[in-house]
Amino acid sequence: MSEPSPAEFRQLVEGIFSDIPFVREVGLRLHEFDLENQTLSAAFELKPQLIGNHFQNILHGGVIATAMDTVGGMTAMVAAYQRMGGAIDWNEKIQRLTRLGTVDMRVDYLKPGRGSHFVCEGSILRVGNKLVVTRMELHNDSDELIAMGTATFLY
């Protein structure tokens, strides 16, 4: 397979995103994708299965962490892809990108997860030869910052 166009790479990322069973269960879907700026966001709706505090209808902290880990990882994948550039052939890139994994992640829960719609955004703090550090933020439908985090990924 030859190097994909930016549109084909986006489709590849969307495919990987939607192939993760727990991501499908949460309902997380790719929202925005900017290959040039290495940013990515995903959105999901509150549903009964995602509530951690049913007395106050608050999103479960594990769902927040899942959204952050997934968005951070996909953002890291985009940055790693860009970092590898033309020096590595496509098959080698695919092998490295599909082995991407979380090394460390920190989540700061800033407000209760109230809302009906959530967006998690990822951006890059640093890209190295083997590690990518990302920053993630989760906002609700009132644009309140619910949680933020950083994560390190190995590729």
126-129, Cβ contacts within 8 angstroms, sequence gap of 24 or more? 127/38, 127/79, 127/80, 127/82, 127/83, 128/83, 129/83
Q: Cα separation of 147 and 110, whole Å?
A: 5
- CATH 2.40.420.20 assigned to domain 6-154? The reply is no
pLDDT digit string, tens, across residues 90-139: 888 988 988 999 999 999 999 999 999 999 999 999 999 999 999 999 99
* CA 148 to centroid of chain Cα atoms: 12
pLDDT digit string, tens, across residues 112-126: 999 999 999 999 999
Nearest to 59 by CA among 120, 104, 136: 120
Instruction: Kindly list the domain boundaries of the chain, sorted by start residue.
Output: 6-154
pLDDT digit string, tens, across residues 26-62: 999 999 999 889 999 999 999 999 999 999 999 999 9
Cβ-Cβ contacts under 8 Å for 155 (sequence gap 6 or more): 76, 77, 80, 96, 97, 99, 100, 130, 131, 132
Determine the pLDDT at residue 86.
78
